[in-house]
């Protein structure tokens, strides 16, 4: 199949017909683009990393003849971006790079990603289609409260909103009181930010006597950090805002790799741009659809910095059932955890998302919590601090003690660990304007 025979796959197509392409056509498009991407990366990567690894295995770009041949290609990992810092994985002359973003790691230098103008167009299109999927249109006023700057959240959502034809209000993160004023006065109908920042905005709004339900806000496009189904329910119930999960990462493009549709049941991957695989994180073997493992992504149209089989460390599975919305793009399950955020407490594997879902099911608790892990006399201790709501604080001590027990039970029945539960005063846990820091592990210090 050549380019002209494929209906509506143009990256600049105004409608989102690509979301509904029949699977054989989608796969033909993916294969054509995969071949182009491998050629580009093999011959042009500045540091020649892919060429070196493919040559070692005796594979040439021409050997990629089917989507299945992708499994023969080497993985790319985060360390490769660090080792080739800053521009080693770029594949075009620097003059063609119109934008740089960066993502700070926990240690040392950030990882750097570059975009050509066509990459920016692809990204904007992925974000435009993301916003369409959660029911937004040119009639919406979208407040972008993700940070603008080296972080991809702000500018990614900004360009997507403009491509949609919506009215974009670029508030960036922070200055929460002004966020609330803008939201009310400008008639904002949708907000893009981290779910943790939105809980903070909602809390501040309530404190200043603003009922979010009485504003025009109806949709939240929330991502950049793990959050749970219970947190979604909490947000929707408390604010009346329909909360959609959006996923992405700088190495691949930024936000807009995958998003929920109005079914709110799994995130559609924009597979015509980003090809997903699920692997066993231990062995690297590809797992069949439906099985949980590490998400690996290959970019299919990126020019400045194509990524071949990038190991995201994010744990999910590919859903097999077709979505009632009619999109043919496969869905991944909500990303609850990363393969590297697992805590081992007294030998038991515990993920922060498990604690969150146990907490959010209990009434009378705020969505603000923190997990503190320590080691006392050689034994791991987990303390969970959670703020009670101001209403509850007025109640009798006895009831607070009961609540503490309920939380302890909920955590024990979820992860099998007895945690020390500390109910803390409203507003005593630090609020985040971006990605929340839920775990403080003091054991290594
Ligand atoms: O967080 C891009 C982004 C911005 C996504 C705005 C969504 C909205 P990074 O800073 O490079 O990029 O961090 C990427 O964040 O590998 C996941 O571990 C995590 N992450 C992103 N979205 C979600 C999500 C942006 N919806 C890393 N659920 C990823 C769970 C998420 N984790």
Q: Tens digit of pLDDT for each residue in 314-355?
A: 999 999 899 999 999 999 999 988 888 888 888 888 999 999
Q: What is the pLDDT of residues 257-314, one digit of tens each?
A: 999 999 999 999 999 999 999 999 999 999 999 999 999 999 999 999 999 999 999 9
Whole-angstrom distance, CA of residue 184 vs CA of residue 389: 25
Q: Say what the pLDDT of residue 389 is.
A: 85
Mutate to test the pocket of ligand 1, among 154, 223, 297 (most ligand atoms within 8 A of CB): 223
Residue 347 exposure: Cα atoms within 13 Å on the Cβ side: 1
DSSP string, 299-359: ESS-SSS--SSEEEEEEE-B--SPPTT---S-EE----EETT--EEETTEEE-HHHHHHHH
pLDDT of residue 2: 46
Ligand 1 atom nearest 151 alpha carbon: 10
Task: Please tell me the distance between residue 326's alpha carbon and the centre of ligand 1 in angstroms.
Answer: 26
- What pTM was estimated for this model as a whole? 0.91
**Residue in this structure with the two tokens 């409608």, named with its chain if needed:** 15
Angle, helices 23-44 vs 49-56, to 10°: value is 100
Burial class (CB in 10 A: 0-12, 13-18, 19+), 161: buried
- CA 329 to ligand 1 center in whole angstroms: 20
| Closest-lying ligand 1 atom to the alpha carbon of residue 312 | 16
DSSP summary character for residue 252 = T
pLDDT computed for residue 155 by the predictor: 98
Ligand 1 pocket, residues with Cβ under 6 angstroms: 103, 146, 152-153, 223-226, 245-250, 254-255, 312, 314, 335, 338
Q: Chain-centre distance of CA 374, in angstroms?
A: 29
Please report the pLDDT score of residue 170 as a whole number.
Answer: 98
Low-confidence ranges of the chain (pLDDT < 70): 1-16, 105-107, 395, 445
Q: Name the CA radius of gyration of the chain, rounded.
A: 23
Out of 144, 158, 224, 266, give the residue to mutate to test ligand 1, the one with the largest number of ligand atoms within 8 Å of its CB. Answer: 224
Model pLDDT, residue 1: 42
């Amino acid at each position: 199949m050549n380019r002209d025979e494929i209906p509506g796959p143009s990256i600049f197509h105004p409608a989102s017909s690509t979301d509904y392409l029949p699977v054989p056509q989608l796969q033909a498009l993916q294969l054509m683009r995969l071949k182009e991407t491998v050629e580009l990366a093999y011959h042009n990567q500045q540091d020649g990393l892919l060429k070196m690894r493919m040559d070692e295995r005796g594979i040439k770009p021409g050997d990629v003849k089917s989507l299945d041949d992708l499994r023969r290609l080497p993985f790319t990992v985060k360390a490769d971006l660090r080792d080739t810092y800053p521009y080693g994985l770029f594949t075009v002359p620097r003059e063609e790079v119109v934008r740089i973003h960066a993502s700070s790691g926990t240690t040392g230098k950030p990882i750097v990603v570059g975009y050509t103008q066509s990459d920016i167009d692809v990204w904007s299109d992925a974000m435009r289609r993301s916003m369409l999927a959660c029911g937004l249109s040119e009639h919406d006023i979208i407040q972008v409260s993700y940070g603008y700057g080296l972080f991809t959240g702000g500018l990614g959502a900004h360009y997507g909103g403009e491509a949609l034809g919506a009215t974009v209000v670029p508030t960036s993160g922070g200055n929460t009181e002004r966020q609330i004023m803008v939201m009310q006065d400008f008639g904002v109908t949708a907000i893009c930010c981290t779910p943790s920042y939105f809980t903070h905005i909602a809390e501040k709004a309530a404190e200043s006597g603003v009922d979010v339900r009485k504003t025009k806000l109806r949709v939240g496009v929330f991502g950049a950090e793990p959050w749970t189904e219970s947190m979604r329910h909490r947000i929707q119930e408390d604010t009346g805002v329909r909360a959609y999960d959006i996923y992405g990462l700088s190495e691949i493009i930024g936000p807009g790799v995958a998003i929920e549709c109005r079914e709110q049941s799994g995130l559609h991957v924009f597979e015509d741009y980003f090809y997903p695989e699920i692997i066993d994180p231990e062995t690297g073997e590809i797992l069949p659809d439906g099985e949980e493992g590490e998400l690996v992504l290959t970019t299919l149209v990126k020019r400045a910095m194509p990524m071949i089989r990038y190991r995201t460390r994010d744990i999910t599975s590919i859903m097999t059932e077709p979505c009632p919305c009619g999109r043919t793009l496969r869905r991944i399950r909500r990303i609850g955890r990363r393969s590297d955020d697992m805590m081992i407490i007294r030998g038991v594997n515990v993920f922060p998302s498990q604690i969150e879902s146990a907490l959010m099911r209990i009434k009378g608790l705020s969505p603000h919590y923190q997990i503190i892990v320590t080691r006392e006399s050689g034994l791991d201790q987990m303390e969970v601090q959670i703020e009670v709501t101001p209403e509850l604080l007025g109640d009798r001590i006895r009831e607070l003690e009961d609540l503490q027990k309920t939380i302890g039970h909920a955590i024990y029945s979820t992860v099998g660990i007895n945690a020390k539960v500390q109910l803390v005063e409203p507003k005593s846990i630090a609020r985040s304007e971006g990605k929340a820091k839920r775990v403080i592990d003091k054991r290594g210090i």
